[in-house]
Structure 1
Amino acid sequence: MKNEKISLNGVELHPFSSESELLNYVDFHKGILVAINAEKILHATDETRAIINRNIGYCDGAGAQLALQQKGYKDACKIPGCELWLKIVQRFHHEKSFYLVGSTQEIIDSTVSKLKEEFPVIQIKGFRDGYIRTEEERSALIDDIVAKKPDVVFVAMGSPKQELLMEEIQKRHPAIYQGLGGSFDVYTGFVERAPRWWVDHNLEFAYRLIKQPKRITRQIHLVRYAYWLAAKKL
């Protein structure tokens, strides 16, 4: 199990060599899993670096994987967050309990229904949508999680909002936490993920760009990341 962390533009992540290595690690080291990709490395600020470095950063994208391999971690693997959370469920659903937060009410309801269908013995101790409008709602959510003591908490609200909420909860209840962004939307079919060929060939970003041309304003910055890799500036 890898306790070491590697810094990429000041962003620290663990060079896990497999999904099973990561799963074994979080089984013994409770904490917050944070997906690291090229965009997070490229656009890191003092605030986002601090959030990531306090927690368990893992390689979510090909850009981060290439940078780790360039630093000598040839077996560093890419572990997409939208797949990892389901690996956690598959691995631990017989022995651990879960709590889910995020997305719209329709999508979180569909997510819970689908999980119960696919994993009949799963223990879901609570769930709610990700639209927390008041401090009272936020406090009520945290109190509910603390009271029900789930072993695993998934929060799908986007970064850094989800990490800040998980850190607040973690102060009162140690558990395995993972931020999921839009993973519930993909899992329930409300959002289409790239076909497997594109994912396996590290071209998921290109597929998403074809489907959503407006993403070009975000993805054009990846040219700078490619330059950093070529110049070994990470």
Structure 2
Amino acid sequence: MQQILLGGVGVYPFASAGELISYVAEHPAILVAINAEKIIHATDELKAIYNRNLGYSDGSGAVFALKKKGYQHACKIAGCELWLKIIERYSGEKTFYLVGGKPEVIEATVQKLRQDFPTINIVGYRDGYLKSGDDEALIADIAEKKPSVIFVAMGSPKQELLMERMQRQHPEAIYQGLGGSFDVYTERVDRAPEWWIRHNLEFAYRLIKQPSRIKRQIHLVRFLFRVMTNQI
């Protein structure tokens, strides 16, 4: 699988979530969700973080750019769905560790996962509010328990930097950064209805629900212009 650069940000053109999951099972890595906003705002430091890990197209803008470069099979893989698909495939086979969210959110997430996936083996979890020394203790716990899959929901690039430190001690695991996915999973944050998602209009739904996002959405127009003019 070849890494494709979009504005200097590496993305792998997977044709499906299943293909990505099969690939990372054979090539353990840190999964990084890449969308138009990340590409347009990526500094050299952020590009370095994204590119040394496994970026996948989490937004329709990234998919559009990949197809413009000739990768017609590339598809959108929503990170807030991907982690659950990984659990669905491996819940009875692999072990899991979860980090992130408020204390009540991570507790609710673990409880719901155990209800939705009765065979899941969660060997550890904790909230994302790490105080001085907590990160070293967390990394040591992961190195000791050696979970197969680790989810970190703390937002970029904080979660990627933490996962890289974990990976140095436990390189055999699959890692995925989840941002606010625990809040979505426990229904503390609403996601767009299925119709909007299916028609690649999730960004429009969020804009309707939160008009203040218009300043962020303007960057999508910049991104599309740069793709159409072969600047990305």
TM-score if structure 2 supplies the norm length? 0.98
How far apart in 1 are the matches of 2:9 and 2:223?
Answer: 14
Task: Note the C-alpha offset of 1:220.
Answer: 1.4
How far apart in 2 are the matches of 1:102 and 1:125?
Answer: 15
Aligned to 1:180: 178
1:141-220 mapped onto 2 (5 Å cutoff): 141-174=138-171, 175-220=173-218
1:70-149 mapped onto 2 (5 Å cutoff): 70-134=68-132, 136-149=133-146
Amino acid aligned to 1:81: G
Amino acid aligned to 1:143: A
Select 2:10's aligned residue among 12, 37, 44. Answer: 12
Task: Note the C-alpha offset of 1:19.
Answer: 1.2
Task: Note the C-alpha offset of 1:31.
Answer: 0.8
Task: Note the C-alpha offset of 1:133.
Answer: 2.1
Instruction: Give identity over the alignment, percent.
Output: 63
How far apart in 2 are the matches of 1:226 and 1:15?
Answer: 18
How far apart in 1 are the matches of 2:208 and 2:97?
Answer: 35
How far apart in 1 are the matches of 2:41 and 2:91?
Answer: 35
Q: Does 1:67 align with 2:31?
A: no
Task: Note the C-alpha offset of 1:218.
Answer: 1.5
How far apart in 2 are the matches of 1:154 and 1:26?
Answer: 14
Name the count of aligned residue pairs.
Answer: 231
How far apart in 2 are the matches of 1:229 and 1:196?
Answer: 27
Task: Note the C-alpha offset of 1:53.
Answer: 0.5
How far apart in 1 are the matches of 2:101 and 2:211?
Answer: 23
Aligned to 1:225: 223
How far apart in 1 are the matches of 2:185 and 2:44?
Answer: 32
Amino acid aligned to 1:65: V
Gaps of 5+ in 1: none
Amino acid aligned to 2:159: Q
Amino acid aligned to 1:220: I
Task: Note the C-alpha offset of 1:215.
Answer: 1.4
Task: Note the C-alpha offset of 1:210.
Answer: 1.3
Question: Runs of 4+ in structure 1 displaced over 4 angstroms?
Answer: none
How far apart in 2 are the matches of 1:126 and 1:206?
Answer: 37
How far apart in 2 are the matches of 1:219 and 1:114?
Answer: 33
Gaps of 5+ in 2: none
How far apart in 2 are the matches of 1:133 and 1:207?
Answer: 36
